[in-house]
Copies of this chain bind each other. A is one copy, B any other.
Amino acid sequence: MTTIKDIAQQLGLSAATVSRALAGNARIPETTRDRVQALADQLGYAPNRAAQSLVGGRTSGFAGLVLTDPGYGREDSYLGEYISGLGHGLAETGIDLFLAAIPQGQSELSVIRNIVTSRRADGLILGRTSEVDPRVDYLITAGFPFVTHGRVLSDALPYSWVDTDGTAAFAEAFDLLYALGHRRFALLTIEEAMTFRHHRTEGVMQAMERCGDPSVTLTIATSPRYDPARRVQVVRDLLTADPRPTAILAMFDSLALNVLHVAESLSLSVPRDLSVIGYDNITSAAMARPGLTTFDTDTFSSARDTGRMLVERIKSPDADQQSLLIRPKLVLRASHGPAPA
């Protein structure tokens, strides 16, 4: 309600001087600065963001995140942790996070384009990156600051990213289960060409090749999006195959928890008949019985780092791109064990 003009008037100054005083301009003596600041505090003055952002293409003070439907059932604690982390990473520098839902009938890309052209945000965060990602292409050509959580496949593209090292993790998971005697492996994956699918699959492949054991088999089962019933069916088919795989690596925890459930309904004992390992360590992973062995990716911290990185990009758009690859930590619980005889 109070504007810079109110302060100026009450102090017998001009708006320009008040603006400079509040900005800490050196040309304004400290005595004046103090007077202005005091009155501003007393009046509870806060600059009108719209006016600030209007002048000279300045910052709007917002970083945007487009809410997409993951489509594989509730992602559990993931989104909440992610958003909290982002918010905190950004808040340190006074930038707020804004969330754009995708209106009926629009594409995510069109929402992003709209945000960029309407200057509603100073930067964007992109989640759920796919191998070839039109959003990344667009934002690079638009010269708009952004950071992705996850990579794209091409590493020729200039952009900043934070990701978890799914390749290393899935190789580690394979090695762990191989050492426990497992030979019939299955990888439960997803339909879409998300980049993490590529990397995590790669990890399993590499580890399999490295161990060089010809008796190892790997089945790849694809879990459909948007269709819980068929999702269950795929797992059921996998677990009733003959011979049944004894080691299941799931792309992420909610898929792994599906496996646990189906196994229960088939009266298969985990980990006696079947070992299951997930990825992300969502809270349900700890609650499930048996507790799910998985990889902790510290979603909160990595989201916070993503937020910080975005702030960097907004502040110095011409600086070099940064990237951060986080090594997930194996969390040993009760869903894995020695291969059945």
Enumerate chain A interface residues (CB-CB to B < 8 A). Answer: 1-2, 44-51, 53-54, 60-62, 67, 74-81, 83-84, 87-88, 90-92, 94, 96-104, 113-114, 117-120, 257, 283-284, 287-289
Contacts and interface: CB of A to CB of B under 8 A. Distances in A.
Number of copies: 2
B94 A101 contact: no
Contact of A97 (B99, B283, B288): B99
Nearest to A97: B99
B76 A78 contact: no
Given A78-B80, A102-B91, A119 B284 contact: no
- Most B CB contacts (10 A, CB to CB) among A2, A53, A80 go to A80
9 contacts: A1-B117, A45-B117, A49-B120, A50-B119, A67-B87, A83-B99, A87-B100, A97-B101, A98-B99
Contact of A54 (B51, B81, B97, B119): B51
Given A50-B54, A83-B99, A103-B92, A117 B284 contact: no
Contacts of A284: 76, 283-284, 287
A46 B62 CA distance: 17
A284 to B, nearest CB: 4
A87 B94 CA distance: 22
Majority secondary structure of chain A interface residues (helix, strand, loop or mixed):
mixed
B96 A100 contact: yes
Nearest to A289: B289
A99 B87 contact: yes
Given A83-B83, A96-B100, 9 more contacts: A46-B118, A61-B120, A75-B77, A76-B284, A78-B80, A87-B99, A88-B101, A96-B98, A287-B288
Contacts of A47: 118
Counting chain B CB atoms within 10 Å of each CB, the highest count among A77, A79, A103 belongs to A77
A101 B104 CA distance: 28
A37 B27 CA distance: 48
Nearest to A118: B46
Contacts of A78: 80
Instruction: Count chain B CB atoms within 10 A of each CB in A45, A61, A91, A104 and give the residue with the most.
Output: A91
Nearest to A88: B101
A286 to B, nearest CB: 8
B1 A257 contact: no
A7 to B, nearest CB: 13
A45 to B, nearest CB: 7
A284 B273 CA distance: 24
Given A80-B83, A284-B283, A48 B54 contact: yes
Given A1-B117, A51-B54, A120-B61, A80 B76 contact: yes
